[in-house]
A and B are shown apart, each in its own frame.
Chain A
Amino acid sequence: MARFGMVIDTKKCVGCMDCVVACKTENDVPDRFNRDWIVQDVRGKNPDLQMEIRSERCNHCDKPPCVYCCPTGASHLHDLGGVVLVTHDMCIGCKACLAACPYDARFIHPDGYADKCTFCIHRIEKGLDPACVSVCPAHCMNFGDLDDPNSRVSKLLNSRKNHSIMPEAGTSPRIFYLV
């Protein structure tokens, strides 16, 4: 079974927020909510500075605490690629999943259910990339099957130094950042 993830090249990313805007229009994300966002991580003292820019979103973890804590099963792992999804009409809005996520990737949609990045399941089902990956003008986003050694994402992970976010939180995230 496939295991979908992303590999993002922070060297090429300019933090332009195209991924955020594309996600918004593709998925009709309500105003003032973000399924993905840009983080700028700057270290050092002027003028000796290093900056890493990351496009972040739900990490669709292998061991998702948001799925484990859901009392109704609304939060679940989808058959296709192990994408973590929420079935809206099973969600009661208890917000346990918001509390369970170490990445604070979820939010409550104005209609009452828990919402987050879906890896654009409606697109990947048709063989397209998620909207954020398709739009990126820096061509720094890659999506694919982490279990396929010949996929673009696997090859990138094997050839370049990379890290995920807060691996110590123990959820096995599936988004990796090339440095």
Chain B
Amino acid sequence: MNEYTTTRHNELVDPSLHIWGWEIPVYLFVGGLVAGMMIITGYFLFKGKYKDSACVCRVLPLLGMIILSAGMLALFFDLDHKLYTWRLYTTFKFASPMSWGAWILIVVYPVMIASFLINVPEYFSKKYPWMNKISLKLGEHKYAIKNIGVINMLLGGLLGIYTGVLLSALGARPLWNSSMLWLLFLVSGLSAASAFVHMVAKRADERELLAKADNGFLILEMFVIALFIIGMVTSTKVHNESALVLLSGIYAPVFWVFVVGLGIVIPLIMQLLAVNHKIKHTPIAPIMVIVGGLILRFVIVYAGQYTHWADAAF
């Protein structure tokens, strides 16, 4: 029988950590989504698909910038000492994933602008003719465009990976303490991006490709989640308890119903049937995937704050 009392009652910390609310899961999801969008954009650029005016890679860079900016705004809302945000850009801290992320986010914009300028949408080319000039110049250098494609894929990958490393470097919260987290967030981001791009793409073959890609990512995601859980369950006592929080504890209903069921399994089944032409494509499955991805971030961020090393001592 053990009784443990503490007189500490610090806001955000007691009785259990609750420092990050909706802002961080939203930002992490947006980061993963944009990362996936960049990888898809990069792939299409690399494969030369940009030459078709209906290619979805024409609209993705601009969409990506808008969505990412919204995510960064959420991130900014979370900061408690906003006037000093500029300090992030006075240094680079090698051991801090957050420092990595701050710089990656900055570097991502020029790349997306460059991708945007390869294929300026009509609306902008009419309003700002100088954009057309750059577009034409770029069009002359196929290898430059190929490289921009590769950079998109690499940077997108880094962006997606870093959102997972950000949490997994915080060893004090056992649930995050997994070397699978970067992969989980990357795959989830790719899956959500595929679902999103499938919905905005105009060409039927692109839509088909993305649906198939999404299925692949969803299957991979299931394996990654399983490995993530297995890693927890075969580790220390606190890690076991963390896994149980998701599997049978207070976050279990959300995890099983929304993340696994409605976020992965059901849309996967629907999309498999659709790509095999058994049923028609609808936005339902992609929307479920996107919402499922968002809820995955919420569950991981909230449940992670709930898990703690101190549990081991008692």
Contact with A along B1-43 (1 / 0, CB 8 A): 1111111111111100101100000000000000000000000
Q: Closest residue to B102 on the A side, CB-wise?
A: A71
A42 touching B170 in the complex, CB below 8 Å, given contacts A34-B10, A95-B80, A99-B17: no
A69 near B10 (CB under 8 angstroms)?
A: no
B17 near A33 (CB under 8 angstroms)?
A: no
B9 near A32 (CB under 8 angstroms)?
A: yes
List A contacts of B12 (CB < 8 A). Answer: 95, 98, 107-108
Residues of A within 8 Å of B, CB-based: how many? 47
List A contacts of B85 (CB < 8 A). Answer: 92
The B interface is mostly helix, strand or loop, or mixed, namely loop
A98 touching B84 in the complex, CB below 8 Å, given contacts A40-B5, A68-B96, A166-B309: no
B309 near A44 (CB under 8 angstroms)?
A: no
Q: Quick one: which of A140-179 are within 8 Å of B by CB?
A: 166, 168-170
User: Does A45 make an interface contact (CB < 8 A)?
Assistant: yes
A38 touching B19 in the complex, CB below 8 Å, given contacts A90-B87, A92-B79, A168-B309: no
User: Does A101 make an interface contact (CB < 8 A)?
Assistant: yes
Residues of A within 8 A of B (CB): 17, 20, 32-34, 37-45, 56, 65, 68-74, 89-96, 98-102, 104, 106-108, 111-113, 166, 168-170
A71 touching B79 in the complex, CB below 8 Å, given contacts A99-B170, A102-B309: no
List A contacts of B82 (CB < 8 A). Answer: 92-93, 112
User: Does B97 make an interface contact (CB < 8 A)?
Assistant: yes
User: Does B106 make an interface contact (CB < 8 A)?
Assistant: no
In angstroms, Cα B311 to Cα A169, docked, is: 12
